[in-house]
A and B are shown apart, each in its own frame.
Chain A
Amino acid sequence: MNRLSYIGARLVKTVLITIAVVLLSFFLVRLAPGDTATVMAGQGGFADEAFMKSLRAEYGLDQPVLVQLWKYISAVAGGDLGNSFVRRQPVLDVILERLPNTLLLNAFALLVAVAGGVLMGMAAARRPGSTTDASMTVLSMIFYAMPQFWLGMMAMLVFSVWLGWLPPFGLETMGADYTGLARLGDIAVHMILPGVTLALYFMASYARLTRTAMIEVADQDFVKTARAKGIGEGQVARRHILRNALVPLITFAGLQSAILVGGSVLVENVFSWPGVGTLAYEAVTTRDNPLLLGIFIVTAVLVSLFNLVTDIAYSIADPRVEQGR
Chain B
Amino acid sequence: MEPLIAIKDLIVSLPPGADRAHAVDGVSLSILPNEILCIVGESGSGKSLTAHAIMRLLPRGVSASSGEILFEGTDVLRLSPSAMRKLRGAGVAMIFQDPMAALNPVVTIGKQITEQIRAHRAISEKAALEQAAGLLAEMGLKDPKALLKSFPHQLSGGQRQRVMIAMALSLSPKLLIADEPTTALDVTTQAQILKLIKRIQTERQMSVLFITHDFGVVADMADRVAVMRHGRVVEEGGASDVLGDPKHSYTRALIAAVPRGESMLQPVAQDAPLLSVKDLAKNFRRGGFFSGASAVKAVDRVSLTLSRGETLGIVGESGSGKSTLARCVIRLLDPDAGEMLFDGADIAHMGERQLRPLRRRIQMVFQDPFSSLNPRQTVGEIVIAGPRAYGEDMKEARSRAADILRLVGLNPETMHRFPHEFSGGQRQRIGLARALMLKPDILIADEPVSALDVTVQAQVLKLLDDVRQQMNLAMLFITHDMRVAAQVCHRVMVMRHGQVVESGPTREVFAAPSSEYTRSLLAAIPGRGKLASV
Q: Which candidate, B114-122, B209-217, B423-431, B441-449, is the interface stretch facing chain A?
A: B114-122
Q: Which B residues are in CB contact (< 8 Å) with A243? A: 104, 106-107
CB-defined contacts of B101 to chain A, threshold 8 Å:
220-222
Once the chains are docked, how many angstroms separate the CA of A318 from the CA of B88?
28
Please report the C-alpha to C-alpha distance between residue A21 and residue B87 in the assembled complex, in whole angstroms: 62
A234-285 interface (Cβ within 8 A of B): 235, 239-240, 243-244, 247
CB-CB under 8 A from A227, the residues of chain B are 55, 57, 88
Give the complex CA separation of A5 and B288 in angstroms.
Answer: 11
Task: Give min CB distance, B508 to chain A, whole Å.
Answer: 42
Given A230-B86, A231-B115, does the pair A9, B104 have CB atoms closer than 8 Å? Answer: no
Q: Which of B12-61 contact A (CB under 8 A)?
A: 55, 57
B105 at the interface (CB under 8 A from A): yes
A228 touches B288 (CB 8 A): no
Contacts A227-B88, A229-B115, A232-B119; is A221 near B289 (CB within 8 Å)?
no
User: Which residues of chain B (107-134) have a CB below 8 Å from chain A?
Assistant: 107, 115-116, 119-120
Residue of B nearest to A239 (CB): B107
Q: Do residues A230 and B87 form an inter-chain contact, with CB atoms below 8 A?
A: yes
Known: A229-B88, A319-B151, A324-B289. A244 touches B119 (CB 8 A): no
Residues of chain B contacted by A317 (CB below 8 angstroms)? 106
Q: Which among B90, B103, B153, B289 is the interface contact of A225 at CB below 8 angstroms?
A: B103
In the complex, whether A66 has a CB less than 8 A from a CB of chain B is no
> Is B264 an interface residue when CB atoms closer than 8 A count as contact?
no
Q: On chain B, which size bracket covers the interface?
A: 20 to 34
- Residues of A near B55 (CB, < 8 A) are 227-228
Q: Report the nearest A residue to B105, measured CB to CB.
A: A320
A188 to B263, CA, bound (A): 80
Minimum CB–CB distance for B294 against chain A, Å = 11
Whether the Cβ atoms of B104 and A244 lie closer than 8 Å is yes
Interface centre among B96, B104, B119 (most CB of A within 10 A): B104
Q: Does A31 contact B (CB under 8 A)?
A: no
**Do A235 and B96 touch across chains, with their CB atoms under 8 A apart?**
no
Q: Which residues of B contact A9 (CB under 8 A)?
A: 289-290
Compute how far the CA of A6 lies from the CA of B291 in the bound complex, rounded to whole angstroms: 9
A residues within 8 A CB of B90?
230
Tell me whether B326 is interfacial, beta carbon within 8 Å: no
User: Which residue of chain A lies nearest to B290 when distances are taken between CB atoms in the complex?
Assistant: A5
A30 and B403 alpha carbons, distance in the complex (Å)? 68
Most buried by A among B86, B87, B101: B101
Known: A230-B87, A232-B119. A240 touches B288 (CB 8 A): no
Contact of B96 among A2, A224, A230 (CB under 8 A): A224
| CB-based contact A1/B287 at 8 Å | yes
Q: Which chain B positions have C-beta within 8 A of A231?
A: 85, 89, 115-116, 119
User: Which residues on the B side are within 8 Å of A244 (C-beta)?
Assistant: 104-106
Whole-angstrom CA separation of A88 from B36 in the bound complex: 87
Please tell me if the beta carbons of A324 and B288 are within 8 angstroms of each other in the complex: yes
Q: Is A324 a contact of B115 with CB atoms below 8 Å? A: no
The residue in chain B whose Cβ has the minimal distance to the Cβ of A220 is: B101
| A252–B119 alpha-carbon span in the complex (Å) | 34
Contacts of A318 in B (CB 8 A): 105-106
Per the bound structure, the CA–CA distance linking A318 and B153 in Å amounts to: 11
Expressed in whole angstroms, the minimum distance between the Cβ of A53 and any Cβ of chain B is: 52
Chain B residues in 8 Å Cβ range of A1: 287-291
Q: Do A5 and B119 contact each other (CB < 8 Å), given the known contacts A221-B102, A226-B104, A318-B106?
A: no
Give chain B residues whose Cβ lies under 8 Å from the Cβ of A8. 290
Q: Is B384 interfacial (CB-CB < 8 Å)?
A: no
Q: Would A230 and B104 count as touching, CB distance under 8 A?
A: no
Cβ-based interface call for B175 (8 A) = no
Task: Give every chain B residue within 8 A of A324 (Cβ-Cβ).
Answer: 287-289, 291
Tell me whether A320 and B151 are in contact (CB under 8 A).
yes
The complex places the Cα of A240 from the Cα of B55 at a distance, in Å, of: 19
Closest to A226 in B: B104
Bound Cα distance A182, B385 (Å):
74
Interface residues of A (CB under 8 A from B): 1-2, 5-6, 8-9, 220-222, 224-232, 235, 239-240, 243-244, 247, 317-320, 324
Binding site for A on B (CB under 8 A): 55, 57, 85-90, 93-94, 96, 98, 101-107, 115-116, 119-120, 151, 153, 164, 167, 287-291
Provide a sorted-by-A list of 11 A–B residue pairs whose CB atoms are within 8 angstroms.
A1-B290, A221-B101, A227-B57, A228-B89, A229-B89, A229-B115, A230-B90, A243-B106, A318-B106, A319-B106, A320-B153
Beyond the given A222-B102, A226-B104, A231-B119, please list 6 additional residue pairs across the A-B interface where CB-CB is below 8 A.
A6-B290, A222-B101, A222-B103, A225-B94, A228-B57, A235-B119
